Amino acid sequence: MNKGERISRFVRELGQEDVDLKTLPLDKHPFYRAFFRCWNERRYYEAHDVLEQLWLKTSSRDANYFKGLIQAAGAFVHLQKHFEQPLHAKHSRRLQPAVRLFQLAEKNLAPYVPVCHALDVVALLGLLRTEREKIVQSDFRMNPWSPQHAPKLKLLPGKN
């Protein structure tokens, strides 16, 4: 079973079905919705994988939008790993890569303000900037992420 098949099965297990994008707006696509569900469950790595598969399957003009969301999830993977094992040889060095991914995500998402595919991009950019600035201002010594304060993302009803 290849990665795409594994992700499709994972999305089905989340109670979502794979559909043809030609018949459904992107904000209703099961992989897109699975990204937000995984994010909100603090499963950032899975969120990254799910959206990457959607991005690879579509010929959308929004490639940088997908990239930005994937990079944002990747940044939170770094923060989560650092939080879980702050003294680990590898995980203790994850704050700088997280900041780099926040910067890339901000750059890729900025053209899609204010709202794209039912996501408040302005609010997401604010979140990414705030988390990045907290790390930089602490001189890369403080991780702002914790399970109790993990950010949630939600789609706006009726917005594209």
Mean pLDDT confidence for 95-123: 97
Write the DSSP symbol of residue 155: B
- Give the domain CATH number at 63: 1.10.3450.10
Evaluate whether residue 156 is within a structural domain. no
Q: What are phi and psi of 89, to 5 degrees?
A: -55, -45
Shortest CA distance to 30 belongs to which of 44, 45, 10, 48?
Answer: 10
Write the DSSP symbol of residue 119: E
pLDDT, tens digit (0-9, with 9 covering 90-100), for 60-89: 788 899 999 999 999 999 999 999 999 898
Q: What is the pTM of this model?
A: 0.87
Specify the residue for token string 């997280």.
Answer: 98
The pLDDT of residue 10 = 62
pLDDT at residue 123 is higher than 90:
yes
Here the contacts of 52-57 (C-beta below 8 Å, separation 24 or greater) are 53/3, 53/4, 53/7, 53/8, 54/29, 56/4, 57/4, 57/21, 57/31
Mean pLDDT confidence for 43-72: 89
Evaluate whether residue 75 is within a structural domain. yes
Evaluate whether residue 158 is within a structural domain. no
120 DSSP β-pair partners: 115
What percent of the chain stands above pLDDT 70? 84
pLDDT at residue 26 is higher than 60:
yes
Mean pLDDT confidence for 88-115: 96
Evaluate whether residue 160 is within a structural domain. no
> What span, in angstroms and rounded, lies between the C-alpha atoms of 125 and 127?
5
Q: How many domains does the chain have?
A: 1
Pick 125 or 2 by higher pLDDT: 125
Q: How confident is the model at residue 28 (pLDDT cuts 50, 70, 90)?
A: confident
Pick 19 or 154 by higher pLDDT: 154
Q: What are phi and psi of 157, to 5 degrees?
A: -70, 135
Q: Give yes or no for a contact between 145 and 79, defined as CB atoms under 8 angstroms apart.
A: yes
Q: Which two tokens stand for residue 20?
A: 């043809």
> What span, in angstroms and rounded, lies between the C-alpha atoms of 11 and 60?
20
Q: What are phi and psi of 25, to 5 degrees?
A: -65, 150
Range of the domain at 86: 3-149
